[in-house]
Structure 1
Amino acid sequence: MSARARLGWLCLIVFLAACTTATPDAPGQAQAPVGPVLSAPEAARSYAVDPQASRIRFIVRRGGSLARLGHNHVIMARQIKGVIRSADSPQRSTVELSLPVSGFEVDPPDERAALGEGFGPVPEAAVAGTRKNMLGDKVLEAARFPVVTIETVRVAPKASDWDITVRITLHGVARDLTVPVRVTLDGTMLRARAEFSVRQRDFGITPLSVLGGALQVEDEVAVSMSLVALAGDA
């Protein structure tokens, strides 16, 4: 397997994302899970996530002195299932998401083009190799752990956004992460947007490194999340 193709497994994170419990005052710090996930009251209004309009993007970058020999990669999660429950008290609102890892897209040409420098075209063979490695036994182990789940642990409303602590279960490992989320409501449509970083090592995955570290995958992965949810029965 070429060094370029092997770089692909870097995409492992998906959510989406990484982490461990951080306090609401310190978004982005990872810690081990503490306490149960949050339950919304029965009276909370449900918004079903629209998988056609929602997306989660992971950017994994090459590193090392020979980084030029590898590729940066874009991983897209589009087949998102879930529900957002909005309670009268924002602190009781919840998010529940499910991401099938088999639906992750590797290096869509339009996404790479939109990112510009450092994200030029990638050969189809390299894309196929990246996806195979990502889903294989050394990374996501999709056969054993086919779904990534995200659940709410705590919500702290702020002036222009919310600090939401979510529990992410990926590759059999659960971690909590506090993320600043911008939420807007337009009639029956709810939108939630967030940008943050996660670390592969937080899920027990050691980033790929070859040639004595001269060519490697960076541990930190940038995550961009955009959710659209519609009011109705979930």
Structure 2
Amino acid sequence: METIKNTRVRYIVDARTSRFTVQAFATGLLSAVGHNPTIGVRNFSGDVNFSSEAIQGSEFRMSIKANSLSVQDDISDKDRREIERLMNERVLETAKYPEIVYEAPLFSITRMGESLYTANLDGSLTLHGVTHRLPVTARVAIFGTVLRASGDFTLKQTDYGIRPISVAGGAIKLKDELKFCFEMVAREQE
């Protein structure tokens, strides 16, 4: 009788080769002249325990330095600095809430094919001092000692006590809903 190997492997997120972005959407009277900023997350870390033979993974955790978010769009340096200042001071209040954390203590895994999986994370996000449940689905591929995960999710800023920013007397403002996209690369820890 063959024994099924059920070892969990710990992977560490490689932020240098990973991509994590936030898309905001403009609304309001002058939204056509405004833009929908794409924000890049630069400073984050994370780890995950994963077993390709099991139907469960455990302990996914990701931490983001809130002041590491930066505008990715091709705009003037002056506009970039102003958007980032507003984001840090008025939106995220990074001096008061320096860290954003997502934790999923347990998640389900479905094998989709050779080295391909779907992971359903039923985790919680702590943002702006508020914690809420946030389910996330990721497509996962494992190639040797490298795990790649990709997906997207949305959230409402107001759920986390954040008032969507508005400028020009409210003629241009950002919608409450933000879209997050990720392409994470994690390497097996030895």
Q: What range is the shorter-chain TM-score in?
A: 0.7 to 0.9
Partner of 1:101: 66
**Comparing both structures, which one devotes a greater share of its residues to helix?**
1
CA distance in 1, matches of 2:161, 2:44: 24
TM-score (normalised: structure 2): 0.85
* Percent of residue pairs bearing the same amino acid type: 30
Structure 2: distance between partners of 1:211 and 1:102? 24
What's the CA shift string for 1:137-174, capped at 9, x where partnerless? x2211112111111104423335422211211111111
8 A contact 1:91–1:157 mirrored in 2:
yes
Match of 1:65 in 2: 29
Q: For 1:151 and 1:92, locate their aligned partners in 2 and report how far apart those are by CA, in whole Å.
A: 13
**How large is the RMSD of aligned CA atoms in angstroms?**
1.9
Larger radius of gyration: 2
> 1:83: how far off?
0.8
Distance in 2, Cα, partners of 1:210 & 1:82: 35
How does 1:57-206 map onto structure 2 within 5 Å?
57-87=21-51, 88-107=53-72, 112=73, 121-136=74-89, 138-158=90-110, 160=112, 161-206=118-163
Is 1:232 the equivalent of 2:189?
yes
Task: Please state how far the C-alpha of 1:104 moved relative to its aligned partner.
Answer: 1.4
In structure 2, list runs of 5 or more residues that go unmatched. Answer: 1-6, 113-117
State the secondary structure of the residue aligned to 2:78: helix
Bigger relative CO (Cα 8 Å, ≥ 6 apart): 1
**Counterpart of 2:32 in 1: which secondary structure?**
helix
1:223 aligned to which of 168, 180, 188: 180
Question: Structure 2 counterpart of 1:126, which letter?
Answer: D
| 8 A Cα contact 1:151 1:166, kept in partner | yes
SS at match of 2:164: coil
Q: TM-score, normalised by structure 1?
A: 0.70
Query: Residue 33 of structure 2 aligns to which amino acid in structure 1?
Result: L
Count of equivalent residues? 178
Provide the C-alpha distance between the structure 2 equivalents of 1:63 and 1:129, rounded to a whole number of angstroms.
19
The answer to which structure has the higher strand fraction is: 2
Contact 2:26 2:36 in 1 (8 A): yes
The alpha-carbon distance between structure 1 residues 159 and 187, as it changes in their structure 2 partners (threshold 3 A), is: closer
2:4 aligns with none
